[in-house]
Amino acid sequence: MVDTEQEKNLASKIMEVTNYLRSQGDLMAEETKKFGVATAESTAAAETANKRIDELELKLQKIAIVKPGVSEPKNEKAAAQRSAFFNWMRGGVKGLEPQERKALVSDTTGGYLIPEDIEAEIIRAVPQLNVFRKLASATTTTRDKLRKRTLTEVSMGWGKVETGTDITESTLTPATDYIYAEDLYGLTKVGEDELMDTDANLAAIIADSFSVARADAEEAAFAIGTGHTYGQPCGLAVDSTLCTGVTAGGGPALYVTYAKFWATDDTVLWDDMFGAEYHLPAQYLPGASWLMNRTTEAAIRVLKAATSNAYYWQPSLVAGMPNTIDGFPVYNNNSLQYPADTLTGINVIFGNFKLGYRIVDRLGMSIQRLDELYAEAGLIGFKAHFRVGGDVIRQKAFFCVANDAT
């Protein structure tokens, strides 16, 4: 249950610190005009305010996060499977009764499948930690890969055929590619004493450990994963077409160099970022979002329009809702490069993630018990195996901004 009063107090504090940050931004601008550079005191105060806003936003978001838990099984078969699974985790196969061994469901690698009610909790926790799972579309499959079919677009032209007008002809070219479900492994070590706790406590340990580990690995891979050749999802920020290509038919470049995007004094020039919004095809604007490093967003917080003096970045005062830049939601992925830290590479992505990127989840998750490996330390290891993939399905749905050409 969300604590409404606590939510309001945090929102009020965020607005208070945001106003202070903006005043510091004005002061820094005046100091820069007068002295050529902002004073160290003003810069330090702005950095402190940025960190304070981050802390408050994190607290606000945590209010809306439901802690992982395990619902009760809905039938006797599920209850028997769950009971056998936890008994196996505590004592291994040798400690199971014959009927309990029958209740366990194994996969082809010798691991035991996690009961559905526990697996659901692990999957449910991932979207709360993973930005890509909030934004992109996701598909579940029972195969090792998902077919990705594409067609070139056709065109039409005006005119009367009977008066000699040629019919506009275009070639419809199909293409087939695949999004592979890559292997993702996780390992957690549970103390022997913890294995004696109740089923609910043990389930919470599993859900919390593997959901966080999976989210961290996925978030980085969906952004900068090197692709199936290297056993990883295909990262959006390293997609070859987005980095170097142009649209079919010679349209506007999908990737454009903005040499001034990040100035030498670590100041973002907003005029260059407007290009991303207006180069993105109009059909992808509804639902479009910004994705960038948190440090990049921190620098954008003090930018404002020259005419209206209004800030482009606006804080969210509602738990679970993102901040906005020029009216579009902004999300963070720290795998994207911070412009001031590098001369090349994609720094900011603007686009429609729901229509442009697809995540593929392979059905079923398994876990193996490692009895002997950590026995001397009084620990039992549990190795989890997930299969997940991701790839760009519409390059036109994204526009990437960089500091220099890659």
**Residue 46, amino acid:** A
Q: Which residues are CB-neighbours of 347 under 8 A, at least 6 positions away?
A: 261, 262, 292, 293, 296, 336, 337, 338, 339, 401, 402, 403
Q: Would residue 9 count as lying in a domain?
A: yes
**pLDDT on residue 196:** 64
Q: Give DSSP secondary structure letters for 344-363.
A: SSEEEEEE-HHHHEEEEEES
Q: Is residue 143 part of a domain?
A: no
Q: Do 126 and 133 touch, CB atoms closer than 8 A?
A: yes
385: tokens are 């195996």
- Split into its structural domains, the chain has a count of 1
Q: Tell me if 175 is assigned to some domain.
A: no
Cα 65 from chain centroid? 16
- pLDDT tens per residue, range 261-319: 444 434 555 665 777 788 888 999 999 999 988 877 877 777 777 667 777 778 776 66
**Residue 249 pLDDT > 90, yes or no?**
no
Do residues 174 and 148 make contact, with C-beta atoms less than 8 angstroms apart? Answer: no
Q: Is residue 280 part of a domain?
A: no
Please determine, for residue 248, whether its predicted confidence score (pLDDT) is greater than 50.
no
pTM: 0.66
User: What contacts 159, CB < 8 A, 6 or more positions away?
Assistant: 165, 166
Q: Could you read off the pLDDT of 134-177 as tens digits, one per residue?
A: 899 998 888 888 887 766 667 787 877 777 778 877 777 777 78
CB atoms within 10 A of CB 264: 7
In a domain, 60, yes or no: yes
Domain containing residue 49: 4-64
- Does the residue 388 lie in any domain? no
Identify the band that residue 7 occupies on the pLDDT scale cut at 50, 70 and 90.
confident
Domain assignment present for residue 32? The answer is: yes
Q: How far apart are CA 262 and CA 266, in angstroms?
A: 6
Residue 193 lies in a domain: no
| Mean pLDDT over each residue of the chain, to the nearest integer | 74
Distance, CA of 346 to CA of 275 (rounded, Å): 15
CA 14 to CA 81: how far, in whole Å? 47
Q: Which helix (H) or strand (E) holds 368?
A: strand 366-370
